[in-house]
Amino acid sequence: MIIAEKKPIEEIIEEVKPYDRILVLGCNECVTVCEAGGKKEVEVLASALRMYFIAHGQVRTIDERTLERQCDHEYLEEIRDIVDNYDAIVSLACGVGVQFAAEKYQTMPLLPGVNTVCLGANEDRGLWTERCQACGSCVLARTGGICPVSRCAKRVMNGPCGGATNGKCELGPDTDCAWQLIIDRLKALGRLDDYEVVAPIKDWSTDRAGGPRTVTREDVKI
Amino acid sequence: MRLKIPTSFRIVRLPCTGKLDVIHVLRAFEKGADGVFCVGCLEGDCHFNEGNFRARKRIEQAAQILDKVGVGGDRVRMYNLSSGEGPLFAQYATQMVETIKALGPSPVRLMMEKSQAA
Amino acid sequence: MSECRTQSRLEKVMRAGHLGVTSECGPPRGSNPEEIREKGQLIKDHVDAVNVTDNQTAMTRMSSLAACVHLKLEGVEPVLQMVTRDRNRVALQSDILGAASFDISNMLCLSGDHQSFGDCAQGQNVHDLDSMQLLQTVRYMRDEGKFLGGDDIKRPPKMFVGAAANPFADPFEIRVPRLAKKIACGAEFIQTQCIYNLDKFKEWIKRARDRGLTEQVFIMAGMTPMKSVGMAKYMKNKVPGMDVPDEIIQRLAGVEKKKQAQEGINICVEHIQALKEVDGVSGFHVMAIEWEEKVPEIVERSGLYPRPEV
């Protein structure tokens, strides 16, 4: 899922200062799971913002709403009848939601309340880690299910590089060497011979480098 | 026990301090509280295992937010004691009130009262 | 081993059966070419080629290509080191052609240290190709005479191409398969990380020998003289992928401070002499960074001077 993290409240305060009536808009999916932008976080942010402005002698209206998702037309439509009550929306959805909402409500300033960080897994309570960078041409079958693009700091296709130590990346002991993980996995799968197969030069045109990506399914379009 | 405790606070009872969420603390301040204190079981003795650890973390989170918005993180605090320690509760209660008196009224309450008067 | 495919002196020396000798220098953190020229002049008669590092440890320096050109124009044969961290495949091929236009005939393909170690920690990294794929690319440009995109190259580059190997990195069990992979990708020579643990190195090269790999590639043993016991401890504890046995530390510690540098050189010379006898070692890569003036002494005392005529 998409992992995001709350923006520092000082930053959000600066973003909303020019506006009088603000809607804090949450999302019930990924940002809820990573505890950055769900209903609970909306409540807390709204309360904090209210107190900030009151304590500084300023008047603001700060309302709260959480949608099922902000990346789908039908859910964003749910606020159409209340949108005119506000001067700005702080969306706690991921970057996708903020943008989709901005496209739908073109004259409404849409301010991001979280920093979208990565595609990752819910590894443990309070720990979310990157697993995928959406390169568009998945090579996981070749690497025993461990991605060298997202988990290797140098995205080497034929690793490890010379900097790995004790199974950790040269970046530091908190980062596993992806290629150590791949080698261990290939061993566990009885496929260590595959290590010597040279991975071909990657086609990065399906990655960000090729431009904004689109997926279309003609067969499901009406 | 008939111990003397200050009368200037309200007690809200929870089944476990683990039930306390950050928003409850913030709402109290929004409504004009000058301080919020959470009193839970001794660490390691929580009746529900970890509730008081969760409460401590949430109190810390609330304190950080209150600092950032100008209300002051010193106005929230976590205390741990066992339910049999009546005198200690009285002592903490007095301490709580004294801390808040020294900090003065919450800026939110002050401003709300001012605007009501106006 | 076989016929020379380039004008590289290094290739000629090793293919003729002699031990090759290379050294290394880093370009300056500025645009003064005099520093590079001076370093080159210090060692030119004692080595067959000089590696020029490419923004090593991600600290921005004069480009390796430019420094190589300066050396070449001074009559010193350079080895162009190229990392994949900073350039995409267009720029890599382009720089290879740039080097070839000056008849620079040696290249070393590397990944490069992560940019967070250097002076531009907030920068992007590229890694469009990895070091193995860069090897393939150079060979393809040379042997097929084509760009990666398939078009013909006018006057294809003639590079003697190599890669790095670290017999001491983790995990040890894939060190020789990794060497095999680099050879399969086209490496013609290998320069190893600096060696202090002779036994471990001998074990690695033995495994390489057993697989017939030493027949397919020229392995040059990396050698760096220790300047002090402090340097030895630092390398042991703080530098990843480095294996410094305690005997080395003790030997240096056992000598008074102002004699430690000389002792470090003595150790280096002894190691070279020991490794000359090892089957599969085709040469030495003497890395005395910021201590280039000691290279002549090391090469002479190791019995590798004068360099052979080819």
Distance from the Cα of A29 to chain B's closest Cα (Å) equals 20
Same domain, A72 and A141: no
Chains that touch A (3 or more CB pairs under 8 A): B, C
List the domain range (segments joined by +) for residue A70: 2-118
Same domain, A104 and A158: no
Nearest CA in chain B to A54: B108
Distance from the Cα of B70 to chain A's closest Cα (Å) equals 6
A201/C180 touch (CB, cutoff 8 Å), yes or no: no
Beta-ladder partners of C191: C164, C220
Same domain, A155 and A84: no
d(C-alpha C240, C-alpha C158), whole Å: 34
Which CATH architecture group holds C9-226+280-301? Alpha-Beta Barrel (3.20)
Closest CB from B21, B65, B111 relative to A54: B111
Number of domains making up chain A: 2
User: pLDDT tier at C133 (50, 70, 90 boundaries)?
Assistant: very high
Q: Given a cut of 90, is residue C171 above it in pLDDT?
A: no
Beta-ladder partners of B37: B77
Q: Is the dihedral of CA C42, C45, C47, C51 positive or negative?
A: positive
User: pLDDT tier at C284 (50, 70, 90 boundaries)?
Assistant: very high
Distance from the Cα of A97 to chain C's closest Cα (Å) equals 26
Mean pLDDT for the stretch of residues A31-50: 97
Same domain, A96 and A163: no
Residue A125 falls within a domain, yes or no?
no
Helix (H, G, I), strand (E, B) or coil at A165: strand
**Among the ranges given (A119-133, A203-217, C80-94, C231-245), the one the predictor scored with the smallest mean pLDDT:** C231-245
Please tell me which residue, C2 or A113, carries the higher pLDDT value.
Answer: A113
Chains that touch B (3 or more CB pairs under 8 A): A
Q: How crowded is residue A17: how many other Cβ atoms within 10 Å of its Cβ?
A: 12
Q: Given a cut of 60, is residue A151 above it in pLDDT?
A: yes
Closest CB from B23, B70, B106 relative to A47: B23
Q: Given a cut of 70, is residue C1 above it in pLDDT?
A: no
d(C-alpha A186, C-alpha A142), whole Å: 9
A207 interfaces chain C, CB cutoff of 8 Å = no
Residue owning tokens 């040269």: A170
Closest CB from B22, B26, B70 relative to A55: B70
Q: Given a cut of 90, is residue C183 above it in pLDDT?
A: yes
What pLDDT does B115 receive?
Answer: 84
Closest C-alpha among C224, C240, C176 to residue C203? C176
Nearest CA in chain A to B30: A51
Same domain, A15 and A105: yes
Structural domain boundaries in chain C: 9-226+280-301
A180 interfaces chain C, CB cutoff of 8 Å = yes
Structural domain boundaries in chain B: 17-117
Same domain, A146 and A110: no
Give chain C as a 3 state SS string.
CCCCCCCCHHHHHHHCCCCEEEEEECCCCCCCHHHHHHHHHHHCCCCCEEEECCCHHHCCCCCHHHHHHHHHHCCCCEEEEEECCCCCHHHHHHHHHHHHHCCCCEEEEECCCCHHHCCCCCCCCCCCCCHHHHHHHHHHHHHHCECCCCCECCCCCCCEEEEEECCCCCCHHHHHHHHHHHHHCCCCEEEEEECCCHHHHHHHHHHHHHCCHHHCCEEEEEECCCCCHHHHHHHHHHCCCCCCCHHHHHHHHCCCHHHHHHHHHHHHHHHHHHHHCCCCEEEEEECCCCCHHHHHHHHHHCCCCCCCCC
CB-CB contact of C176 with A186 (8 Å): no
d(C-alpha A146, C-alpha A179), whole Å: 8
Residues of chain B with Cβ-Cβ distance to A10 below 8 Å are: 68
Residues of chain A with Cβ-Cβ distance to C133 below 8 Å are: 157-158, 199-201
Residues of chain C with Cβ-Cβ distance to A180 below 8 Å are: 170-171
d(C-alpha A154, C-alpha B22), whole Å: 40
Nearest CA in chain A to B108: A55
What pLDDT does C240 receive?
Answer: 73
Same domain, A95 and A137: no
C78-83 and C49-52 beta bridge pairing: parallel
What pLDDT does B48 receive?
Answer: 87
C128/A204 touch (CB, cutoff 8 Å), yes or no: yes
Distance from the Cα of A49 to chain B's closest Cα (Å) equals 7
To the nearest whole percent, how much of chain C has pLDDT over 90? 93
Mean of per-residue pLDDT scores for chain C: 95
Residue A124 falls within a domain, yes or no?
no
- Show the CA angle centred on residue B48, arms to residues B47 and B50, nearest 5°: 110
CB pairs under 8 A between A and C: 87
Torsion (CA) C61, C103, C19, C185 in degrees, nearest 10: 80
Mean pLDDT for the stretch of residues A133-143: 95
A205 interfaces chain C, CB cutoff of 8 Å = no
CB-CB contact of A128 with A136 (8 Å): no
What pLDDT does C165 receive?
Answer: 95
Same domain, A98 and A24: yes
Q: How crowded is residue A98: how many other Cβ atoms within 10 Å of its Cβ?
A: 25
φ/ψ of residue A194, rounded to 5? -60, -20
Q: Given a cut of 60, is residue C86 above it in pLDDT?
A: yes
- Show the CA angle centred on residue A92, arms to residues A86 and A98, nearest 5°: 75
Give every CB contact of residue A135 below 8 A, 6+ residues apart in sequence.
A149, A202, A204, A206, A207
User: pLDDT tier at B38 (50, 70, 90 boundaries)?
Assistant: very high
Same domain, A150 and A95: no
Nearest CA in chain A to C164: A162
Q: How crowded is residue C148: how many other Cβ atoms within 10 Å of its Cβ?
A: 16
B23/A50 touch (CB, cutoff 8 Å), yes or no: no
To the nearest whole percent, how much of chain A has pLDDT over 90? 95
d(C-alpha C187, C-alpha C108), whole Å: 9
What pLDDT does A10 receive?
Answer: 96
A201/C89 touch (CB, cutoff 8 Å), yes or no: yes
Position A10, amino acid: E
Q: What tens digit of pLDDT does each residue of C285-297 get?
A: 999 978 999 999 9
Q: What tens digit of pLDDT does each residue of C135-155 get?
A: 999 999 999 999 999 999 999
Domain boundary among A89, A118, A147: A118
Distance from the Cα of B39 to chain A's closest Cα (Å) equals 22
Distance from the Cα of A114 to chain B's closest Cα (Å) equals 16
Same domain, A139 and A202: yes
What pLDDT does B1 receive?
Answer: 64
φ/ψ of residue A117, rounded to 5? -105, -50
Mean pLDDT for the stretch of residues C188-215: 96
Residue-level length of chain A = 222
Q: Given a cut of 60, is residue A161 above it in pLDDT?
A: yes
What pLDDT does C125 receive?
Answer: 94
Calculate the CA A54 to chain-centre distance. 32
Mean of per-residue pLDDT scores for chain A: 96
d(C-alpha A179, C-alpha C160), whole Å: 28
Residue A25 falls within a domain, yes or no?
yes
User: Which residue, among A154, A165, A195, A205, would best test binding to C if mutated, counting the most C CBs under 10 Å from its CB?
Assistant: A154
What is the pTM for the complete model shown? 0.91
For chain B, list residues whose CB is within 8 angstroms of any CB belonging to chain A.
21-23, 26-27, 29-30, 65-66, 68-71, 106-108, 111-112, 114
Q: H helices within chain A, ranges in order?
A: 9-16, 30-33, 39-55, 73-77, 95-104, 148-151, 178-188
ipTM computed for the complex: 0.91
A158/C125 touch (CB, cutoff 8 Å), yes or no: no
CB pairs under 8 A between A and B: 50
What pLDDT does B70 receive?
Answer: 94
What pLDDT does B47 receive?
Answer: 83
Nearest CA in chain A to C243: A165
Residue A123 falls within a domain, yes or no?
no
Cis amide linkage into residue C171, ω under 30° from 0: yes
